[in-house]
Structure 1
């Protein structure tokens, strides 16, 4: 017979784990891994330690599923890791997630399908965002650095009738960035970063 292992997590500065830990202890967890991480932190070192420690028949317990993951894809991936270790998953607030039951196993299968849909939607949005950026003349990738001489070249070439599109291609900038430089008469800077046009909404 495995043991109940708790996982508690907060993601906002100032929050405490006290209530989660109390509920996990009352549920019978013999060990509790405690994580304090920001929403952007993908390391989740305590969760990794928990999964690495799992033995057959162990049960990973959380107070709510949003303590474990924020997206369907992440939830499915983590629960799949747990079940691959021949352990089970249970959420106190959502007992239907218990993977030791037929309902829980059905939930896992449904999560897998939803995770695939979510992943495809993300890929589609990302692809569409890149296409829009290219169509709008935005440069993908890292900001470009231009010397004063290069900016001067752009101004001269523009005055000589070279198109914005041609200059943008030559210098690896967006057309709007080239237009700004062409209108600029400030040569005091030795370098500049064209940052405002490299952002892509996805």
Structure 2
């Protein structure tokens, strides 16, 4: 089976451009798309909670998933690697049009999978190291890192981590990276920051993903 996978982040975006690109690619390759998987969802959302997860659950050896570019699968290296590893375990290949990758059961795919995995591990380690260093400095400065007394708002998974989030934002971490480190969706983190008045420093040169 050949699957065309299409993902857009908002309802304002259209799937037509991606669908056209995949159809045109398959025509050049003398392939036929047996099924289309289309969804409107953030790439930061866990893939097992998306249509992509359901697709990966039913693919078989020899199947191919085609998407326009690797970022259609997910918004982080760790997530993309997880999807790749899951697909490869089931013998399903992933082809991307923009990068020209054909990720299957071959040496090149295994090298790429290793590189993605190593990059994801490095990303997590760097975030963890920056967090420890930044919090240690704040603590040395006498800053209380717990939840402020009398703080209003619902009790959420992020409650009590306001200062941690402020420190991470001050040190150029993106909202997406922080959300991954704290194991929440990016949208949840953004709403929490807005509710608590937590903002990125004016002189911060980083760009939130």
TM score, norm. by length of structure 2: 0.62
Kindly indicate whether residue 104 of structure 2 is the aligned counterpart of residue 106 of structure 1: no
Counting only pairs closer than 5 Å after superposition, residues 173-192 of structure 1 correspond to structure 2 as: none
Counting only pairs closer than 5 Å after superposition, residues 1-202 of structure 1 correspond to structure 2 as: 3-26=1-24, 27=26, 28-38=32-42, 40-42=44-46, 44-145=49-150, 199-202=165-168
Q: Deviations over 1:141-168 (max 9, x none)?
A: 434218xxxxxxxxxxxxxxxxxxxxxx
Q: 1:35 to 1:128 in 2, by over 3 A?
A: farther
Q: Deviations over 1:75-107 (max 9, x none)?
A: 111101111222111111222343244323321
**SS state at 1:144 partner:** coil
Q: Distance in 2 between matches of 1:200 and 1:51?
A: 37
Q: Check conservation: 2:4, 2:66, Cα contact below 8 A.
A: yes
Q: Which moved more, 1:137-146 or 1:42-51?
A: 137-146
Unaligned runs of 5+ in 1: 147-193
Give how far 1:49 is off: 0.9
Give how far 1:51 is off: 0.9
Q: Check conservation: 2:44, 2:76, Cα contact below 8 A.
A: no
Q: Distance in 1 between matches of 2:36 and 2:127?
A: 33
Q: 1:201 to 1:106 in 2, by over 3 A?
A: same
**SS state at 1:32 partner:** strand
Match of 2:189 in 1: none
Q: CA RMSD in A?
A: 2.7
Unaligned runs of 5+ in 2: 27-31, 152-159, 169-209
Q: Distance in 1 between matches of 2:100 and 2:165?
A: 43
Give how far 1:63 is off: 0.7
Size of the alignment, in residue pairs? 153
**SS state at 2:101 partner:** helix
Q: 1:83 to 1:136 in 2, by over 3 A?
A: same
TM score, norm. by length of structure 1: 0.64
**SS state at 1:200 partner:** helix
